[in-house]
Structure 1
């Protein structure tokens, strides 16, 4: 079960290889001996390590003798040494080979008599000394568990220093073979006490190394689902990882015959009681408690203990305080086909009966699982429903959805079961766990039953699920149909109005949202216990008031809604209240730092409430956008990576994709930005302005960096034509991008300026300015900042006005938005240089913009600044007096790097590739390439080696201080 030596990369063992080489060669004094023994289960990579370490020892000048022990006991004395000498003989010159053949001849001599064995060992030792010729000798032995007695004596003789040469031993031992009174167990125990001997117990690979090995074999990073399944099935065993990865690469779903036969052989080698115990654990839900296992296998206590001990010794089971698990879940797949259907059903029946008879709390989820597989759905169904209710009490909505899905399946065609109620519960659980498409499908199945809910209720639920899935236009229609339905009760009207107010808020129609929110609150006053409706309507009303009228009053309403939600304890109400508060602070009110704190605090809270996949990801997207605006791009990357681990769907996924795209556009990662925009557009069928306008704005921004000004123009015009929004901020951003696209077209002279588009954009900018007058002051301030950019961009179409750009820079400085402030300074410098005025001021402005761009990691922006500076002969790096005489220390050299760039540089210094760094930091390989280029620019180096040297020098200087 050894891994293929030459065809796969060595992963996760580099430190061990270095340690073994040092122990066997570098740290061994002349005349001394050393030993390194590698122990571990089959397939853990021992043979591969012997090959790697042996190669390094040979390159270091040692004579390496490599042999393998045979599984035939003492029938072939000194077989591994003979094999090693024959291999050496085949690669030596004739003169040197004579010494090897002389030593081989020693084995043919009679060693009987009282001193025969001792004399043989002494002659072998002398012969090895002749072959070595003063060089260290390393004896590499594989499968040492099968070592013959004579070879074992020789190893002990040489390691005891009784020979006349410097000898080291490197050996691998299959740990599951060392059972009972195996003589090597005692030998290894004794050897562990010697300072010159190191024994390493090889553990399986961790998850990161497992995915790295698999990606190397598949030749592409694994999808998250495939990576999860591989990890669960392999347990990190390299041999199993390699086999499964080859199957994955070649498109095979079934388990390979190689793996199947390997595991079956190991199970078949067990004593019969242990065989039964492994089959039972494979059929159970891990961990299987000792008491439960004893009842299922039906053996006396001592026999159960002996059986488990044997299975653990053979590396098939692992035991802990909470019970027993299979070392590899793959064993369960193999054994499933080895039992007859009736045998499997009997095992599951025994588990169900044992669980039912157990004192204390009943494990409903396990009970449902075992009764279902025992072929008794009528007993599994109530257990599945009870398991779902238990999960919902603990806010485990994903688990509840899974159990209810089972219950729906079990209820098919069964009399006396309220299938409609199960479908309704399952749909709601799917919605809460972020499975929006599944929720809609279950709801449609419910609507087709004879016991379907009234039309109004169906409209409300369908609208909620559609809104969560990002299909806002359809959701709005459904809410209106609910309000118009004849069977709509006062409570349902309050619910529909409150949810519709929230939807309109998300669509950016704040005035409409406020009106609906007031209607919902009036309706809720007539309904007892309408807490959810009050929270939703209050959040929408508070946001609307803060945006349109009075920020302070609106914030008070929103914070009160959050307090109400927390007191009521409904998870979704708490999540929505946090969501609206964080959006208001980071968006219209521009209190970004506080908004980021609220978003992150809310994300932690909703994760506690079991809504991580849906609301936590949305809150983290809000935090990311806030961090982006204040220039903390590296921190924003980390937040996105954390959110994406939830694998969100629907509107939640769109929020994250757009947030990540903003970073990619800023970094200049064109491929990643394009990919995210395409994915978001695919998911936005029926989406509203809240998502569509930012998406088209990003599309325009990306196209401008690509010099595709006509594409940018088209994206902006689509945004102005196809959507409706009261959100003056996102409209102002879109108009700025449109005017910037026309200005860029004018400057490039590659695309003609569209004067009609310019007139339309200027008209819309004027309308935005007029509509912002009655808006709340913080909203007006942000809108004024974008309108200042718009006015300055218009001036570029004729003769760029430096004063307009200075005004824009001042606007954004006041709001602590470093990127648009730096962009304004670039354009101000450009205008000054074009007029051949105040070149010193232009140089200062370019240096300020360059410093911000470098700090952010904004590569395209940096390149544009460099291009202008180069044409104007402006030095971007200010030189201080005395700098040439006293160069900065390495720590100062790294001061120019952002936090993310330091992380990337540390990984570069480890020797990792861009792909490996991307996998570690959860960002694309191309983005890593952008970071590396940026690092080279800042450190003024050309190679990874030079950059690594600066990083390592920095660590030394820090440690010296």
Structure 2
């Protein structure tokens, strides 16, 4: 009855889209060469996005690429968390089981949140700050590994239905993919993206990335419509008919198909002008049973499993199969690719059928779906069960059933780190709370539905769930998902409700959340909120909340105002956490305590505590403390001058944070690594570490780290303009809402250096006065000494300038008095104390070689080549100024030779020029006692230290990717280094470069071919 035309409503011939298909094929070719690609395909509903992706996927398959398709799933008005990624990963697992298993090895418990087939998702800490970012990073690395050996196409359809977690994961993936033969292509309906559609911000963000290409599908022109109709009819169409269909469809490919079939069936003239009616007319021509099944499928979601459909339809199986056969034959429904269920051939038809349902009919169908799924949970995949059941009951308008189902779905979303969906579900639960029966609410338990600790004063197994419990869980979900404004509103409402209750612990808990949110939203530093929480718990018995408040106070104080109060808070936090068995809080507080002990001068005890926490956190798989430790421990090591030890811990930290997917921690590790490498005189590597910090980090502060490192480098290398730009950028990234000495004092040091270099001594003094007005909190000597040194050096360099004399004595006295407040409990700060004292004497015109000898002697035992070169230059200057004998002149010449060599190696132009100028002025000749230095072949070729490292690896046969991995740089940076090396050596290929390296014996046999990292 349906005729042959209906089975061919889709043209067997692919029409048009040559340019768009060319873009996709070009992306495939680039990916095959190892350059990941990302594309967005937009167009109105029915314009042919799915057909284009199908055609591309077929061509990619013929080119030996693996294609994994995944679509966003709509259930009513809801989306399933990570649905397209889960579906695509399942497809990859079916096609490449061994490769995917190898790529996921060691992280199955985390990746199971996306692909449950990998194992049981590990339960993380209740307040996992980096949980979602960790999952995203591990997913990106999984895809890179799978795509390392063969080309993979990841196609995600219908982004306009995507849940927030899917959108966030896609954005992360596109931003961070660095290697692998991978093509990510996603489609969306452009006509559905209204001004407030949640996909719009993502599209705007991706548009700013040069790595993302957009394809907009236009409607067909008349010639293309004619070819499409000819393909459907398998004959040349009548021109008048083409004109009519083109006019009515306006070139929309799907409507062309529908109108062509309708015209052949002779019902075109009877249709109304509404295209919605056109979509329904073919459904209404089906037999009643088939229409009924179509309505059931329409309300079940984008796809409905056969067994679930059978349970809801309640038809004899033969009747159901016959109805489905009819609907499939009419091209209304299609079987899914896995053969397990059915979907509408086009979502526009499903939407039209769903919109045509009566209100009572819709709620009745949702109830039957919910009842069937509740009775037989295995009817749908396990990861979809809870959210679908929650959606069905909610749209069935049954609050008694919907409230517990929605809460169960929220728990599942939390387990998968889908915090945005968790928040939406919790808000829906709060909406249902007052309309649900009392008996239903009384049967709910906190232990089943919330994970944050809330003191109820009794057994959570026997205590009913409270509305405040939902608000607490929603506040955490909002913070973790980035919906911090919503979380702030929730905490504000909760604290208002608590004004009528005597529950100080619960109120303190909410104040702690507000403190975090105030810092996250740049509204303040969070101290006022922490102070309120501390007052609420003061005098109360030990509890987990009490321990958490004290741990937060100690951590905040360590960053902002370290001292005795911070140390006391950390000690009590550890004690209380141990008493109540809060292991995570205890480890976190002990890490803070160890750092505070180091800053207080009890170095051995503090470091021992931190190293013990390092072992215990790794044993307990506490990822948060592990990540924080690899940031804090090396920072404290750097703070006491143990830069080499810090670098070793930081290199380990890079491996750990990458393996665990801790991107924020990795960004801080890179930043700290840059600081330590700068101290060690490895400036090129320090610059690269700063860039890596910015590339990896997702927040503004890693960018501030990069700008700070580059500001110091630019200042030391004499590029004052760039130093100024970097200083301004760092200040902007760090902001003014949450000032910390570790950031501010370093930036003041740079500001003083720039002002002095530009001859603005008054501005340098003003910057110093502002810093000294705030004072140096205990433990900030690592920032205070370099700052005072910069100020003292500026004054000394300006000696003799008339404009500098007014205020000089007062400035020098302020520096001298401030120096008395800084500790010198370790060799590096003892050396700085001598250096500052010598500079102050130089500024007063009364320095002597002895003063500089002390500074040089102190720095000769340290591994800080730039600092040593600077004090050697000053000692040489003092020796020459004292009018000493020939031995003094020879010693000065040797000191200048050593200082100049370091300055040239580092590219420290101001120091190099000062050394050269002093040597010329004193008419010094090279020292007679020193042996002539052997010519360094690498230096004669103009190779930098980093280029030498790269050339070692090239000579060892490493690829750019392997070089990048071993030197912790990006493959692109490695490629740039290789190109520079080839140019400097005058060779055309890597083999020739290796031959030159061996011929010149740049890396003799007794030297390892590859220098160990760190």
TM-score category, normalised to shorter length: 0.5 to 0.7
State yes or no: 1:367 paired with 2:392.
Answer: no
State yes or no: 1:596 paired with 2:647.
Answer: yes
Q: Which residue of 2 aligns with 1:509?
A: 562
Q: Which residue of 2 aligns with 1:21?
A: none
Offset at residue 634 of structure 1 (A): 3.8
Offset at residue 629 of structure 1 (A): 2.1
Q: Choose which of 516, 526, 532 in structure 2 pairs with 1:481.
A: 532
State yes or no: 1:538 paired with 2:595.
Answer: no
Distance 1:640 1:305 in 2: 58
8 Å contact 1:700–1:712 — kept in the other structure?
yes
* Equivalent residues in 2 for 1:490-529, closer than 5 Å: 490-491=541-542, 492-507=545-560, 509-524=562-577, 527-529=579-581
Q: Which residue of 1 aligns with 2:833?
A: 787
Offset at residue 681 of structure 1 (A): 4.5
Query: Structure 1 residues 497 and 268, CA, compared in 2 at 3 Å: closer, same or farther?
Result: same
Query: Structure 1 residues 302 and 457, CA, compared in 2 at 3 Å: closer, same or farther?
Result: same
What do the CA deviations read for 1:420-439 (whole angstroms, capped 9, x no partner)? 32331233345557776665
State yes or no: 1:389 paired with 2:435.
Answer: no
How many residue pairs were aligned?
710
Q: Which residue of 2 aligns with 1:130?
A: none
Q: Choose which of 617, 628, 637 in structure 2 pairs with 1:585.
A: 637
Offset at residue 735 of structure 1 (A): 1.4
* Equivalent residues in 2 for 1:690-729, closer than 5 Å: 690-727=742-779, 728-729=781-782
3-state SS in 2 of match to 1:235: strand
Distance 2:690 2:299 in 1: 39
* Equivalent residues in 2 for 1:336-415, closer than 5 Å: 358=379, 361-363=382-384, 367=388, 385-390=407-412, 392-393=414-415, 396=417, 399-408=418-427, 411-412=430-431, 414-415=433-434
Query: Structure 1 residues 881 and 813, CA, compared in 2 at 3 Å: closer, same or farther?
Result: closer
What do the CA deviations read for 1:361-405 (whole angstroms, capped 9, x no partner)? 2435753896599797967775664455346557x4xx3354224
Q: Which residue of 2 aligns with 1:235?
A: 185
Q: Choose which of 447, 462, 472 in structure 2 pairs with 1:424.
A: 472
Q: Choose which of 865, 869, 872 in structure 2 pairs with 1:822.
A: 869
Q: Which residue of 2 aligns with 1:142?
A: none
3-state SS in 2 of match to 1:816: coil
Q: Which residue of 2 aligns with 1:89?
A: none
Offset at residue 721 of structure 1 (A): 0.7
Distance 2:175 2:626 in 1: 31
Q: Which residue of 1 aligns with 2:843?
A: 797
What do the CA deviations read for 1:216-236 (whole angstroms, capped 9, x no partner)? xxxxxxx98897599999829
What do the CA deviations read for 1:289-309 (whole angstroms, capped 9, x no partner)? 99999999998999999999x
Offset at residue 679 of structure 1 (A): 1.6
8 Å contact 2:712–2:723 — kept in the other structure?
no
What do the CA deviations read for 1:671-705 (whole angstroms, capped 9, x no partner)? 651343222452x4243433332332233334445
3-state SS in 2 of match to 1:631: coil
Q: Which residue of 2 aligns with 1:618?
A: 668
8 Å contact 1:385–1:404 — kept in the other structure?
no
Query: Structure 1 residues 584 and 401, CA, compared in 2 at 3 Å: closer, same or farther?
Result: farther
Distance 1:503 1:616 in 2: 21
3-state SS in 2 of match to 1:725: coil
Q: Which residue of 1 aligns with 2:462?
A: none
Offset at residue 649 of structure 1 (A): 3.9
Query: Structure 1 residues 368 and 670, CA, compared in 2 at 3 Å: closer, same or farther?
Result: farther
Distance 2:877 2:350 in 1: 73
Q: Which residue of 2 aligns with 1:466?
A: 515
Offset at residue 519 of structure 1 (A): 3.8
* Equivalent residues in 2 for 1:562-573, closer than 5 Å: 562-566=614-618, 570-573=622-625
Distance 2:298 2:911 in 1: 58
8 Å contact 1:2–1:42 — kept in the other structure?
no
Offset at residue 726 of structure 1 (A): 0.5
Distance 2:856 2:307 in 1: 73
Query: Structure 1 residues 475 and 257, CA, compared in 2 at 3 Å: closer, same or farther?
Result: closer
Offset at residue 616 of structure 1 (A): 4.3
What do the CA deviations read for 1:694-718 (whole angstroms, capped 9, x no partner)? 3322333344455544333322221
Query: Structure 1 residues 384 and 230, CA, compared in 2 at 3 Å: closer, same or farther?
Result: farther
8 Å contact 2:551–2:569 — kept in the other structure?
yes
Distance 1:363 1:506 in 2: 43
Distance 1:860 1:283 in 2: 74
Q: Which runs of 5+ in 2 are unaligned?
A: 1-16, 34-38, 43-54, 61-149, 156-169, 191-202, 222-249, 262-278, 284-295, 314-319, 442-465, 955-967, 999-1014
Distance 1:282 1:704 in 2: 73
Q: Which residue of 1 aligns with 2:739?
A: 687
Offset at residue 753 of structure 1 (A): 6.2
Query: Structure 1 residues 881 and 600, CA, compared in 2 at 3 Å: closer, same or farther?
Result: closer
Distance 1:236 1:400 in 2: 23
8 Å contact 1:205–1:236 — kept in the other structure?
no
Kindly indicate whether structure 1 or structure 2 has the higher relative contact order, using CA contacts under 8 Å at least 6 residues apart: 2
3-state SS in 1 of match to 2:580: coil
* Equivalent residues in 2 for 1:7-156, closer than 5 Å: none
8 Å contact 1:472–1:503 — kept in the other structure?
no
3-state SS in 1 of match to 2:821: helix
Distance 1:862 1:615 in 2: 37
Query: Structure 1 residues 476 and 4, CA, compared in 2 at 3 Å: closer, same or farther?
Result: closer
- Using structure 1 for the length normalisation, give the TM-score: 0.57
What do the CA deviations read for 1:133-168 (whole angstroms, capped 9, x no partner)? xxxxxxxxxxxxxxxxxxxxxxxxxxxxxxxxxxxx
Distance 1:381 1:835 in 2: 87
Distance 1:704 1:428 in 2: 48
What do the CA deviations read for 1:478-537 (whole angstroms, capped 9, x no partner)? 444333337863224444333323332223524333233334455556x33143454344
8 Å contact 1:423–1:446 — kept in the other structure?
yes
Query: Structure 1 residues 947 and 616, CA, compared in 2 at 3 Å: closer, same or farther?
Result: closer
Offset at residue 447 of structure 1 (A): 1.9
8 Å contact 2:903–2:909 — kept in the other structure?
yes
8 Å contact 2:561–2:777 — kept in the other structure?
yes
Offset at residue 547 of structure 1 (A): 3.8
Distance 1:286 1:485 in 2: 51
8 Å contact 2:690–2:705 — kept in the other structure?
no
What do the CA deviations read for 1:542-588 (whole angstroms, capped 9, x no partner)? 33333434422222233334445456655444445554433322323
